[in-house]
Structure formats: structure tokens, C-alpha cells
Amino acid sequence: MIRFIAYVWLGLVLGVSFLATPIKFRAKSLTRPVALDVGRTTFHAFGKLEWVLSLALVVITVQVRDSLEPVDWFLIALVLVIVVGQTLWLIPRLDVRVAAIIAGEEVPRSHLHSVYAGAEFVKALALLLLGAWTAGHV
């Protein structure tokens, strides 16, 4: 079941973060503030779904804990830490920037978007490895 959750979650991350999000910024008729507002709304909804997936992963992990190997625990913890970090630290800071841009303010360049993209990449890789690694023993 961990494998199933990992692969479903991976598909969602790939679809939302690596496909839908970059594509919307290529739409010529969509202004940057509108695209950012759509992105903010999307990522807030996706964040809620990720908490549901996190809870499911924790519940399943508790049920199969005796068959987990150290690498399983590491990958599960890594995914959960990323979700917590994005929710409590990163997304609120990105929200402030988006609100300022929507309000027409000039905002200085920031590394926050790159940090978010990097976290999504690491999360996707961890989910891929978790699904592949647990296939043989959980």
C-alpha cells in the first residue's frame, strides 16, 4: 500500500508541479498576476491533498512498521518533512510575494521559487524511490 500511495502522489506532483504550473505561464493571454493567483489557489488545494496523503502514509507506515527497512523510514520521513516545511515555512512566504505582485508592487528577486522547485524535485525523487524500494518487501 505504501507503494500505491507513493506512486499516486508522485503522479500528482508531476502533474501539478512539473506540468500544469509551468504551462500556465506560457499562455499568452494569461497575465502574470492572474497566473500567480491561479498557482496560489492550486497549490493551496494541492497542499491540503498532500496532508491527506501524508496522513494515509503515516497510517499505513504504522501498520507495516515491522517490515520497513531503514531506507523506507528515511524516504517516508523526507517526504513528510518536505510537506511540513512547504506548508509552514515556504508557501506562506511565497503567498506574501504573490499578494504583493497581484497588488501591483515591485518585488525584489527571491530564491523562494527555486527552493520550492528543488523541494518538489526531491519529494518526487523520494516518492519514486519509496515506491520502487518498498515493492519487494512491503
Q: Which helix (H) or strand (E) holds 107?
A: none
> Which tens digits make up the pLDDT trace of 35-61?
999 999 999 999 999 999 999 999 999
Domain count, the chain: 1
125: alpha, beta or left? (left if phi > 0; alpha if psi -120 to 50): alpha
> Which tens digits make up the pLDDT trace of 7-22?
999 999 999 999 999 9
Nearest by Cα to 57 from 7, 106, 17? 7
The whole domain housing 22 covers 2-134
Model pTM score: 0.93
